[in-house]
Structure 1
Amino acid sequence: MNTNPSKYKVLFLSRWYPHKNDPMYGIFVQRHAEAVGLYCEVAVLYVQEDINLKGKEFEISQFELNGIETIIIYYKKRPGFLGFGKVFNVLNFLKAYYIGWKIIKKQNFKPDIIHVNILARTGLIALYLKITKKIPYIITEHWSKYFDNSGSYSGFLRKLITKFVVNKANSITTVTMHLMEAMKTNKLKNNNYFVIPNVVDVDKFFPSENTKKITKIRILHVSCFEEASKNIAGIIRSVQKLSLKRQDFELRLVGDGIDKKRLENYAQELGVKDTFVFFDGLLEGQALIDFFNSADFLVLFSNYENLPVIMVEAFACGLPVLSTNVGGIKEHLNEERGILIEAGDENAFIEKLDFMLSNYSSYNPHKIRAYAVDNFSKKVIGKSFFTIYDNVLNSK
């Protein structure tokens, strides 16, 4: 085993990762990998189902991005038929990992440690490699499924596998203390739990004085347009009610997702679409950064969250945030950086939205950004993971 920190090789396995059909899927995992890449040699092996594969069972995509060697294996997904579709898909999933592992071996990349992201199936792959190849693994969990109100952590077999994989891991990290406590409440036992938050690239996300400001106060919301968790309809409804009192603002909704069309129709029904509420679609890279810098503050009205990357990006751009007190948000959002309200309380949301419109400029953008740099930068997060790897590899 390699115990020279300057040459640690880390293999990322993740249930979510950006791919050809969704470039934003699990983007926070990619950013963690890039942060680790400042201190270690990193490769990513990701397996993704694809119902649209034509004439073949597998497709291999191999490239380097921001210094991270990335291998994505797409496998053909079959529709279910008397249970045979599920069996076929599981076999293809496992074979895809086998194909990816052979590519890694051919490149002479011998991982010293495996970094699993999002349970549980990726954890089973890591556990198999730990047993057969003696490679230790750690887990980083991002998923809010362990929260009582999400209702998605269920099923005897899933819980059994998750407990076993967590117990056998060398260390567990979560992006919030709230998530760590939720996992422990679900009896996911491990002696080495740590909190390491999400990453923001502070060299890209920063306040810009050159971005053109508009005459109206600009409220920004960025999300995946999934209504059950994000409660965007509640934001639109609140804006409509507040627009009866004041007309000096606009809400810009950035993103795409399963409920976008329904939300556009809802804004149209309320008479605020393209007057007070604007849908700007999916923005990435500099276009998204420019939008941050054209905004005056960020709003989140989620029913449940973990640690929204978008809030961290807002901090890096010096923006205050109005958000519901859900998940791990309160661990970082205080009165210096914005306002917390209870989930689902539209009256409180409207009241504080009105307050923010009149007082957003009283927040200190330099202090807000400094907090992001000190807590979420690649250097800080990468070093935190490196310390865990180092402890695991030198405790053998």
Structure 2
Amino acid sequence: MSKKLHILFLCGWFPSRVLPTNGDFIERHAKAVSHKHKVTILHIISDENCNQKIEIVSEKKDELNIHIAYIKKTKNPLKKILLYRKAFLSLLKHIGDFDVVHLNKLYPFGIFTLYLKKTRKKQFIISEHFTGYHLPLSKNISFLEKFISKKIAKSAAFICPVSNNLKDAMQQLGFKGNYARIPNVVDTNLFVPSESKNSVFTISHISNMVNPHKNIEGLLQVIKNLEAKLVNFKVEIIGENSSKYITFATKIGINLNNVTFIDQIPHKEIANRLQNSDLFILFSNYENLPCVILESFSCGVPVISTDVGGINEYFPDDFGKLIQRNNQEELLESILNFEKSFKTKTLNKQKMHNYVINNFSESKIALEFEKLYFKSLK
């Protein structure tokens, strides 16, 4: 496997000027692979501020060659399809030849991979993170999308969901293929344990702040109930537009001296926030494999999370606590149990960090993908 390949990351999600953090976990996968192979990113997205029909922006970021086509927004679905097709063909001219396609999000960009397989004989693998394949969300998937997705999945050399739970959901939808679980990646040089100790019990929550998904209001209700049990604690709620929950927090009577709402921060700053936490909480209604749980482990910080999606596949018993979905009483009790021991119990932070190195580091994940790239070429 010494040959250096050129991998085309074909991305339905990817950070852009329209959505700066969308699919940043895909960018981290690409970055991991780029340490061993040449990686080119292809992404297309509609932009209401685009003055041209198609605007192509290319840049070199670290070791990634990134090509994004911004499409003038249109309400005409046929016109949109034609613009996306034209943009895709234009981007291919910028990229040149490549060895393997790494598709990120099966539909709809998988249609492009079918084209590349038919016209250029290019094999492809699929990475999948989409929570929408789980019930009840999967009921919203149209017949046409399912039909096309089945063809894309069947044509792939490998399908790489981030968890077995996601694999099961995809197979229940009829997406047959060669499955190989490959999880999210963690920068284990950035997310490292800190030996500093807090004088005040500090809880953090980091997410996209979408309430039906992350159950922010449920978490805030638990924090309100926590105030009756604890006198001295801090909570940081971090994510895009987190300040929109200040109104709800005030409405239910939370003491805002205990809770800080912090809007979206750069990924590098997340490490610092986790290192300065005693406990990380994710109270989601559904998930696949949240990067931030693995990043918390890498910092040696225990986690309380709902037992949803594929989280329990990567959650050692002594790294935290898994609780029932939307069980506010269980979450409150678990927080209080962690608080009782936070000054006396010494966590084996290095053990937690080593677990992440062995399973989710850039070198580990790059090697897993590399094996599949070479297998697909055979």
Q: Go from structure 1 to structure 2 and tell me whether the alpha carbon gap of 1:34 and 1:241 turns closer, same or farther (over 3 Å shift).
A: same
1:98 pairs with 2:98: no
Match of 2:163 among 153, 170, 176: 176
1:240-261: CA deviations, max 9, x gaps? 001111122111011114xx45
Contact 2:235 2:260 in 1 (8 A): yes
Matches of 2:82 and 2:301 in 1, distance apart?
47
Letter of the structure 2 residue corresponding to residue 215 of structure 1: S
Residue 375 of structure 1 is matched in structure 2 by 359
1:335-390: CA deviations, max 9, x gaps? 21100001011111111111122234443211111111111000000000000111
Residue 167 of structure 2 aligns to a residue whose secondary structure is: helix
TM-superposed deviation, 1:227: 0.5
Residue 101 of structure 2 is matched in structure 1 by 114
TM-superposed deviation, 1:89: 1.5
Letter of the structure 2 residue corresponding to residue 196 of structure 1: I
Segments of 5+ residues of structure 1 without an aligned counterpart are none
Matches of 2:309 and 2:341 in 1, distance apart?
26
Residue 137 of structure 2 aligns to a residue whose secondary structure is: coil
TM-superposed deviation, 1:215: 2.9
1:120-179: CA deviations, max 9, x gaps? 111110110000110111111110111113346511100001001001111111111110
Contact 1:10 1:42 in 2 (8 A): yes
Matches of 1:153 and 1:357 in 2, distance apart?
41
Q: Go from structure 1 to structure 2 and tell me whether the alpha carbon gap of 1:171 and 1:317 turns closer, same or farther (over 3 Å shift).
A: same
Contact 1:334 1:340 in 2 (8 A): no
Residue 256 of structure 2 aligns to a residue whose secondary structure is: coil
TM-score, normalised by the number of residues in structure 1: 0.92
Match of 2:49 among 49, 52, 55: 52
Residue 77 of structure 2 aligns to a residue whose secondary structure is: helix
Residue 216 of structure 2 is matched in structure 1 by 232
Residue 266 of structure 1 is matched in structure 2 by 248
Matches of 2:198 and 2:260 in 1, distance apart?
14
Residue 313 of structure 1 aligns to a residue whose secondary structure is: helix
Q: Go from structure 1 to structure 2 and tell me whether the alpha carbon gap of 1:152 and 1:363 turns closer, same or farther (over 3 Å shift).
A: farther
Residue 69 of structure 1 is matched in structure 2 by 65
Matches of 1:145 and 1:89 in 2, distance apart?
23
Residue 280 of structure 2 aligns to a residue whose secondary structure is: strand
Match of 2:154 among 149, 164, 167: 167
1:133 pairs with 2:116: no
Matches of 1:21 and 1:202 in 2, distance apart?
29
1:198-254: CA deviations, max 9, x gaps? 001001111234x6x553211010000101110011110001001111122111011
TM-superposed deviation, 1:185: 1.3
Residue 11 of structure 2 is matched in structure 1 by 14
Matches of 1:261 and 1:220 in 2, distance apart?
15
Residue 386 of structure 1 is matched in structure 2 by 370
Letter of the structure 2 residue corresponding to residue 129 of structure 1: L
- Structure 1 stretch 349-358 or stretch 266-275: which is displaced more? 266-275
Matches of 1:295 and 1:261 in 2, distance apart?
20
1:32 pairs with 2:32: no
Contact 1:59 1:74 in 2 (8 A): yes
Please identify runs of 4+ aligned residues in structure 1 that moved more than 4 A.
none
Contact 1:5 1:40 in 2 (8 A): no
Match of 1:256 among 227, 240, 263: 240
Residue 7 of structure 1 aligns to a residue whose secondary structure is: coil
Matches of 2:187 and 2:71 in 1, distance apart?
32
Identity %: 32
Please show how residues 151-162 of structure 1 align to structure 2 within 5 Å.
Answer: 151=138, 153-162=140-149
Contact 1:175 1:307 in 2 (8 A): yes
TM-score, normalised by the number of residues in structure 2: 0.96
Matches of 1:337 and 1:230 in 2, distance apart?
21
Contact 1:202 1:373 in 2 (8 A): yes
Q: Go from structure 1 to structure 2 and tell me whether the alpha carbon gap of 1:273 and 1:226 turns closer, same or farther (over 3 Å shift).
A: farther
TM-superposed deviation, 1:326: 0.2
Letter of the structure 1 residue corresponding to residue 67 of structure 2: I
Q: Go from structure 1 to structure 2 and tell me whether the alpha carbon gap of 1:261 and 1:293 turns closer, same or farther (over 3 Å shift).
A: closer
TM-superposed deviation, 1:275: 1.8
Question: How many aligned residue pairs are there?
Answer: 376
Matches of 2:268 and 2:371 in 1, distance apart?
32
Residue 307 of structure 1 is matched in structure 2 by 289
1:7-45: CA deviations, max 9, x gaps? 211100011001113321101101111111122111111
TM-superposed deviation, 1:287: 2.4
Matches of 2:255 and 2:132 in 1, distance apart?
33
